[in-house]
C-alpha cells in the first residue's frame, strides 16, 4: 500500500479510491480543497481590512494628539505639548520596527 506524503494522495491513490468508493472520495476531496481555498481567501481579506482599519485609527489618533499638542502650546504647557507631539511618532516608529521583526 502506498502512503501519501501530504494530505492529498498521489494520482494512483485517487484511482484506487475511485475504484473502492465509486468517485465519492475524489469528489469529496476536491470539494474540501475548494472550500478550504475559499475560506483562506476570506480570512486574508478580513486580515487586510483589519490592518487598514488599524492604520486609519493610528492616523486619527496621531492627528488628535497633534491638535492637543497645539492647544497645550497655546495654553502655555510646552512640556506637555512636546510629549503629545513626540509620543505618537515614537509609537508608530516602534510599530513599524516590530512589524518587520515579527514578519
Q: Where are the domains of the chain?
A: 11-102
Report the distance separating Cα 62 and Cα 76, nearest Å. 21
Report the distance separating Cα 70 and Cα 55, nearest Å. 23
Grid cell of 27 as nine digits: 469528489
Grid cell of 25 as nine digits: 472520495
pLDDT digits (tens, 9 = 90+) for 39-80: 999 999 998 888 888 888 888 988 999 999 999 999 999 999
**pTM score:** 0.54
Selected residue with higher pLDDT from 46 and 15: 46
Supply the angle between the helices 24-74 and 11-21 in degrees, to the nearest 10.
120
Closest CA to 28 of 9, 12, 54: 9
Compute the mean pLDDT over every residue in the chain, rounded to the nearest whole number: 82
Grid cell of 81 as nine digits: 505639548
Please check the confidence at residue 7 and state whether its pLDDT lies above 80.
Answer: no
Amino acid at each position: 500500500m502506498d502512503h501519501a506524503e501530504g494530505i492529498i494522495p498521489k494520482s494512483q491513490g485517487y484511482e484506487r479510491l475511485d475504484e473502492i468508493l465509486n468517485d465519492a472520495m475524489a469528489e469529496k476531496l476536491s470539494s474540501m480543497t475548494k472550500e478550504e481555498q475559499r475560506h483562506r481567501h476570506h480570512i486574508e481579506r478580513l486580515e487586510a481590512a483589519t490592518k487598514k482599519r488599524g492604520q486609519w485609527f493610528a492616523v486619527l489618533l496621531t492627528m488628535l494628539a497633534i491638535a492637543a499638542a497645539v492647544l497645550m502650546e497655546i495654553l502655555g504647557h510646552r512640556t506637555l505639548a512636546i510629549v503629545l507631539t513626540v509620543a505618537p511618532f515614537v509609537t508608530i516608529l516602534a510599530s513599524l520596527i516590530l512589524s518587520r521583526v515579527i514578519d
